[in-house]
Each structure stands twice: as C-alpha cells, then as structure tokens.
Structure 1
Amino acid sequence: MSTKIKKTLKIVLPLILGGLLVWYMFTKISPAKLLEYFKNANYWWIALGLFFGILSHLSRAYRWKFMLEPMGYKPKFMNSTLAVLIAYFVNLALPRAGEVSRAAVMANYEDIPFEKGFGTIVAERIADLIMMFIIIGITLLIQFDFILELVKKNFDPVKIGIGIAALALGIFIFTRYVKKANSGFGLKIKTFVKSLVEGVTSIFRMKKKWAFIFHTVFIWAMYVAMFWATIPAVEGLHVPLGAILVGFIAGGFSIAATNGGVGLYPVAVAGAFSLFAIPEEPSNAFGAIMWSAQTAMIIIFGGLSFLVLPIYNKDK
C-alpha cells in the first residue's frame, strides 16, 4: 500500500467512523429531541466550562517555556498560545498533525529548531499521559466498591481469574520478546518505552520542575472542571462524582480515537453514564452539547489564531 493511500485512509476512515457513530447516536435520541435540549440548555454553565477550557490552553502555552528555557529559547507567550490553539485546530482535521504544526509555528516565528520544539511537545504528551493514568487510578480508588460489584454482577470470578492469569502470562512473554528484539515491531516498542522513561526523568531534571508539575496538574484539573461545569447545563441530568470521572475518561479516549471525538464522544460519555443508571437521553444530549462546545471553542480560537499569528509577527 502506497504512502499516499495510507495517509488518505488515516483521514477518511476516522471521519467515516464518526459519521456512523453520529447515526448510532440518533438511534438513541432523535435530532428533534436533541435540538430541544440545545435550545433549553443553560449557556451560563457552558460558558463557565469553556472558561476552564481556555485556562487550560493558556496554562499549556505557559508550561511550554519551562521545557524551552533550558535550551536557551524564550518564546513570546502570545506566540506560544497561538501555536497551541492552532495545534488543536489542525488536530480536528488531521489527527496528531497538530503537534507538527505547533513545532512549525515556533520554528517560523521564534527561530526554535523544529526538531527541538517537537521533542519538547513529545515530552509534554508523556506528562499528559501520566496525568491520565493518575486520574484513572483515582477513579478506581473512589469507585472501587462500585466497580467490584459491577464485575461480580456481570462476570464469572473463575473466568476473571483465568483472564488475569492469561494477561499476566501474555505481558511476561511480550516483555521478554521486546527486551530481546533488535528489529521490527519489538524494537519500535522498546524505543518508545525508552523515550517514555527519558521523557519522565527529564521532567525531574528540569530547572523549574515544580512549576512544570503544577501547570500539568492545573491543566488536567481544568479539563475535569470543564466537564463538570457543563453538566448542569442539561436539564434533569444529575451525575455523581464517580460518574463524572468515568465519563471524563471515556470522553478523553474517544477524542484520541476519532477526529476530535466526532460522533464517538457523545456515545462514549453516555455509555459511561449508563453504568451508573443515568438516563440515556439526557446523557447523549450532554455528550453532544459538551463536544459541540469544545469543538466550537477550538474552531473559533484556532481559526482566529491563524489570522492573528502573521499580524502579531508582521516583522517576520
């Protein structure tokens, strides 16, 4: 298969999947009913959620300087912010291309070599991945009894034991294979894990590591706050803390699976809420409103950033 076809499939397939998932969502809630939820939504709560989202983007732009300063670069905060917003905008159309555009913006307007800029972005993503795992861990602790009862109710304990044993054996065999690999897929995994470890340890070698860690925690706290603040916007939707965290995690993974979570985000969030016996119709409506608000914010601010960037840097 040619490289061109692969690139086309990477763009087209997520969009097709998103379209199918939108159709699936409309089997759960009619377009007319969904439109009614949008009309009756409390937009003050949505605005508060978007405010938290904007704070997270500003914090991400500011956090970047802690990784660039040790290399001798001090970009303007405005350029860093515009680059971050453009990256989110590009990711809506081309998954994972945003990181490339972000590094390219800084190379063009701040004279930061593309390779160095992109390397810091990869290290940032590793920090974000760790935060996602921490949130998953907190959710498991908070909801341990609920998850345990859910597993007992829906799964045979003997089958679970066999599954865990098989998983442990599989991990052991796979780990041995990766350690001995000198080429192919095994080597790629080994290189990725090595980069992951190096990225994590580099954070603790950073001059302003505590400031970096604070902003990392703040960014993710704002993500959760954005999700939480939008829930009261939907009439009749009552969601406990555990369900908020589970829904947030489900929504986060859906964004990585399709272009910005198109189609999948509402379905994933509604599926997570259903575990807590939360009504399906308002759950789907919330997922659609939440996704629409996030996407509108990215399109508006990302689009404006494309226009503002050359004007702000007219000397370039």
Structure 2
Amino acid sequence: MKTPIRKFLSLIIPLLIGIGIIYYQFTTLTPNELEKIKISFLKADYFYVFLSLFVALFGYWSRAYRWKFALQHLGYQTKFRNDLMTVCVSYLVNLTIPRSGEISRAALLKKYENVPFDKAFGTVVAERIVDMLIFLLFVAVGFVSQYDKIYSFLLEKNVKFETLIWVSIAGFLMFIIFILVWIYAEWKIILKLKQKLAGLIEGMQSILKMKDKWNYIFHSFFIWFSYLIMFYVTIFALPETTNISFDVVVMGFIFGTLAVGFTNGGLGAYPLAIAMIFSLYGISNDISVAFGWLIWTSQTLLTIFLGLLSYLLLPVLNKK
C-alpha cells in the first residue's frame, strides 16, 4: 500500500500547490488587471507564439538525437523515431508527476528497442546531470550580469546575500563529500548500492567514454539554446514586451525553468515566477502575468499534443 500512496501523493501534492499558486495569483489581481490580461491574450500576435513552438521542436529533435550517441556507445542501435517519440511521451508524463518522465522514457525504450532499463535510465540520468551543469552556467551568467538588481531586491526582502553564499558553499561541500565517500568508501551499504546501480553507472559514464562526446556536448548546448530562443521569440507576441532587453529575458528564462520543477509542468508556478521577475524590471503586473500564461499555455499544449500523438504512434509503428 505504501507505493500507491506515495505515487498518489507525488501526483496530488504538486497539483494542489499549482492550484494554490493560481488561486493566489488571480485573487491578488484587480478586476482592471484581469481585464487587461484578457485583452492581452486577444491582441497577442500568435505568429510569434507559433514560431516559438517551431523553435521548441528543434529542442525535442536535438534531445532525441543526443540520446543516440550514449546508446550507441553502450552498443544499442535504436530507431531515431522511437527515441524521439519516447522523449515526447516523457515530457507529457512530466506534466503529471515531476521528473517521472525519465522513468517512462527508459521503460518505453526497453519495450520497443529492448535496451535494458537500468542502462537506458543511466543515460537519461547522465543527460540530466549535463543539463543541470549547463543550466547552472546560465544561472551564473544571469546572476553576475544582474548582481546589482538582485542584491537590491534581496535587501528589500531582508535576505542577506552573504547567507545565500554560505548556503551555496555548504551545499557544494556536501556534494563533494558525497562523491568522495561514493568513490573511496568500502562500507557494505555503499558496495551494495554500487552493485545494484552498476547498469545505471555504466549509462552515466558513457558520456566520458563515447567517441562522439563532442557531438553530444554540442547538442546539449543546442537544446538549451533552443529553449532560450523559444522564450525570447515569445516576447514579440505582446506589444508591451517587445522592447524587453535580452538580459531580462535570460533572468525570466532562468526563474521560469526553476519554477517548472515545483509543480506539475510548472502549473501556476511558471507564470508566477515570470511575473515576479518581470515586475522587478518595471513591467506592469498584468502584462507580466499575461506573458507568463501565454508562454506556459502554448508550450504545455504542444507537450500534450506531441506526447499523446507519440504514445498512440509508438505501438502502431512498432508492430512486429
């Protein structure tokens, strides 16, 4: 009974948080602001919205193509269409339980390409580590370029910047200690975990050993580049956001990405994060909220469409 309950809670808790955020966001808006948001949706130039969705397709393609390099290194020649469709399905599954798409992706590849689950999942985990490092690079560039603005905001909220620095250092040191313990410790529990996770570790190490690692790294950066351009293109959909500077776009992109992990696909959290960041740069609340919901809604609809289409096509195209 513990597993079904855990699964239910992992689904319902982020969903309730998202609904709560939506309720909070819209109950704090005035009737005039709500009317302006409605008008913004009606007058938006949807050419740029669809252009951003087109750019997003390159991210899907590149993620699937990057996956092939890791799988080939492990000795598995998979059909690209299956790689792409499992990626699409994984994005859809992530809308239900955050980060559950990685499991479904490995499971589907096991079903349709007979790649062992632990090895496929290992390559997916390796991807997430690479993605995290690239995202941290975005964060570093964004925070350094916007240091004065962020510092002023933290002072207004009575948050000491030095405290954040010490917390970051402590977290980094704990991570280093964990890595050293994992590599060198001879504890029975560590050895047992290593044995059980052998396939997972092999998949993760495939990046360092693969002959196509530079292609892999190129596609890793290209994926995030497509995400950023997708976000940037959407600012031209609203007249009030057209002149937003690129550094503000980067900050909105960073905090929007962080918000995705808090709820089901960023439900509620993503538009709120965008609105909060844009408001720091003098963009009106109604326009900030409208932009956040415009980009989140369009991307979510694309994810649902591609995910459902791929889920239906996978068994059809893999009939034996």
TM-score interval w.r.t. the shorter chain? 0.7 to 0.9
Percent identity over paired residues: 39
Match of 2:226 in 1: 222
Q: 1:270–1:284: 8 Å Cα contact kept in structure 2? A: yes
State the one-letter code of the partner of 1:281: D
Q: Secondary structure at the match of 1:112?
A: coil
* C-alpha spacing 1:252/1:277, structure 2 compared with 1 (3 Å): same
Q: 2:66–2:220: 8 Å Cα contact kept in structure 1? A: yes
Q: TM-score w.r.t. structure 2 length?
A: 0.85
Q: Does 1:282 align with 2:290?
A: no
Q: Does 1:293 align with 2:298?
A: yes
Q: Does 1:241 align with 2:243?
A: no
Deviation at 1:143, TM superposition (A): 2.1
Match of 1:304 in 2: 309
Q: Deviations over 1:10-41 (max 9, x none)?
A: 11111111111111221344554433222111
Deviation at 1:91, TM superposition (A): 1.1
**Which of 81, 85, 107 is the aligned partner of 1:78?**
81
Match of 2:16 in 1: 16
Give structure 1 stretches of 5+ with no counterpart. none
My pick for the range that moved more, 239-248 or 48-57, is: 239-248
Match of 2:121 in 1: 118
* C-alpha spacing 1:292/1:173, structure 2 compared with 1 (3 Å): closer
Q: 2:123–2:206: 8 Å Cα contact kept in structure 1? A: no
Deviation at 1:183, TM superposition (A): 9.3
Q: 2:14–2:263: 8 Å Cα contact kept in structure 1? A: yes
Whole-angstrom distance in 2 between the partners of 1:279 and 1:243: 14
Superposition RMSD in Å: 3.2
Q: 1:28–1:281: 8 Å Cα contact kept in structure 2? A: no
Deviation at 1:312, TM superposition (A): 1.2
Q: 2:49–2:237: 8 Å Cα contact kept in structure 1? A: yes
Whole-angstrom distance in 2 between the partners of 1:204 and 1:179: 19
* C-alpha spacing 1:123/1:165, structure 2 compared with 1 (3 Å): closer
**Which of 268, 277, 293 is the aligned partner of 2:273?**
268
* C-alpha spacing 1:160/1:90, structure 2 compared with 1 (3 Å): closer
State the one-letter code of the partner of 2:144: L
* C-alpha spacing 1:140/1:174, structure 2 compared with 1 (3 Å): closer
Give structure 2 stretches of 5+ with no counterpart. none
Residues matched between the structures, number: 307
Q: Does 1:128 align with 2:131?
A: yes
Q: Does 1:46 align with 2:49?
A: yes
Whole-angstrom distance in 1 between the partners of 2:288 and 2:308: 30
* C-alpha spacing 1:107/1:286, structure 2 compared with 1 (3 Å): same
Q: Secondary structure at the match of 1:26?
A: helix
State the one-letter code of the partner of 1:126: I
* C-alpha spacing 1:161/1:125, structure 2 compared with 1 (3 Å): closer
Whole-angstrom distance in 2 between the partners of 1:311 and 1:178: 44
Q: 2:60–2:87: 8 Å Cα contact kept in structure 1? A: yes
Q: 1:25–1:266: 8 Å Cα contact kept in structure 2? A: no
Whole-angstrom distance in 2 between the partners of 1:214 and 1:99: 21
Q: 1:234–1:285: 8 Å Cα contact kept in structure 2? A: no
State the one-letter code of the partner of 1:73: Y
State the one-letter code of the partner of 2:24: Y
Whole-angstrom distance in 2 between the partners of 1:172 and 1:226: 35
Q: Secondary structure at the match of 1:236?
A: helix
State the one-letter code of the partner of 1:44: F
